[in-house]
Structures are given as C-alpha cells and as structure tokens.
Amino acid sequence: MDDKFDLISSTFSFAMKSYFKDEEMPKLWEKLSSHLKPNGILIIMGNDFEPPELLIKKLKSGKYEIVKGYETRWYMGIKNY
C-alpha cells in the first residue's frame, strides 16, 4: 500500500504490549509514519508505546477513565517534516 493519509487513528490495538513486542515497534512506527502525509496526525487511544519524536512529534498525551476504576492512556502527534 502506497497511500498517504491526513489522519491515522487506532483504538486499543496498535501500540499495546498485548499485540506487539518492544523490539517490533521501531519498524512499525516507521511504516506508520510513511503512510502519513506531511503534518499528518496520529491519534492512539489505549497505548503502551509512543512513537519516537524523530518521526512523530507529540502534541498531547494523557490518561482518561473509561469507566469507574478503569483508566487508559491516549496520545496525539504530528508527522515531523
């Protein structure tokens, strides 16, 4: 796939340790970044990993409570170039 996008989002899968190992993430971040247009936005909800700042600059991140007693992390970044 050679398509490029303005926005890529993932909910509870792409950046979670239950799906990917630490050593797999660098290659996956590069692949994901290659499909973002310049200044494209990445949004991840439910993540254990964040992309390297060299590829995607963090705009905001944090935690939120989905239901009482259960929190998850979120991340929003923009492609660096």
| Residue pLDDT, tens place only, 13-46 | 778 888 888 899 999 999 999 999 999 999 999 8
Helix (H) or strand (E) holding 34: helix 25-34
User: What residue type is 62 in one-letter code?
Assistant: G
- Closest listed residue to residue 51, CA positions, set 4, 3, 10: 10
Domain ranges for the chain, please list them. 5-79
Phi and psi angles of residue 33, each rounded to the nearest 5 degrees, phi first: -60, -35
Mean pLDDT of all residues belonging to the chain: 91
- Beta-carbon neighbour count of residue 80 at 10 Å? 15
CA distance 33 to 55: 7
CATH class of 5-79: alpha beta
What is the pLDDT at residue 35? 96
